[in-house]
Amino acid sequence: MVVADAHLGAADPSGEDAFLAFLDIVPSLGDSLLLAGDIYDFWFTYKRLIPRHCIRVTSRIVELARRLPVLMIGGNHDRWGEAFWGAETGVTFHPRQLRFAIGDRAVLAMHGDGVHTEHRVATILNRVLDSHATMAVFAALPSAVGFRVAKSLGHDPAFAAAHPELVDLAVTRQAAWAERLLQDDPSIGTLVMAHTHRAALREVAPQRWYVNPGAWLHDRRYATVDASGVDLATFA
């Protein structure tokens, strides 16, 4: 199972309730779960605390990781969590990308931000937020100040609604980048990306797929990947 872009903490509370219901049935849907970035609209692991918002989802993920493999990659909103997820919860976490196998199928998973040209503001912001200096400064801030800053930089659905042409361009560029990577690296059986909030599924070569599960935030979308293929689904 693959799910991404829930932006919990900024989304309507019903999104969190639905996500909890989804996590409840994950063991009946598949034998592992990939959280492909921006599950939280903000996450930063401080030295002695973690974000309190959406604590029910956090505890459910940790509980689920005791029952089946849970993998997580960071998105541009929740990349700074390795000290918690990777060290304390049983979740396999990487801030950028993970490679793993499903049967004989080799999977490469990444969130998708920063891999192709985005609009200028997003590019600058991503570079600033990804710098070690920025993370060091943020870690030194009082948590109340940090959360206030994060809220000002959170997901803005109004911007995407007002600029659909930018979203369309990002979708096109991501798909083209994904297809080139799959053509250049035949070892990848399935490439998982997210970030654009648009579901996509393309069989670039026989039994070699590019998939974007879409955004849980908007449509409760997710994807399934197994040894036989890849599918898109909607949680009801």
| Burial group, residue 189, by CB count within 10 angstroms (0-12, 13-18, 19+) | buried
**Cα separation, 149 vs 164, whole angstroms:** 26
What pLDDT does residue 124 have?
64
Cα-Cα end-to-end distance for the chain: 15
pLDDT value, residue 123: 64
Confidence (pLDDT) at 38: 96
pLDDT at 128: 65
d(CA 153, CA 129): 10
CA pair distance 180, 62, nearest whole angstrom: 36
How much is the pTM? Answer: 0.90
Per-residue pLDDT at 222: 98
Partner residues linked to 99 by β-bridges? 108
Q: In this structure, what CATH number is given to the domain that contains residue 55? A: 3.60.21
> What was the pLDDT predicted at 115?
83
Query: Whole domain around residue 216: which residue ranges?
Result: 2-234
State the pLDDT at residue 129: 66
Q: What is the pLDDT of residues 38-47, one digit of tens each?
A: 999 989 888 8
Q: What's the confidence (pLDDT) of residue 121?
A: 61
pLDDT tens digits, one per residue of 100-149: 999 889 999 999 998 866 666 666 666 666 777 777 777 787 877 877 87
Per-residue pLDDT of the chain (236 residues; tens, 9 = 90+): 999 999 998 888 888 999 999 999 999 999 999 999 999 998 988 888 888 889 999 999 999 999 999 999 999 989 888 889 988 999 999 999 999 999 889 999 999 998 866 666 666 666 666 777 777 777 787 877 877 877 777 666 666 667 678 889 999 999 999 999 999 999 999 999 999 999 999 999 999 999 999 999 989 999 999 988 999 999 98
Domain count for the chain = 1
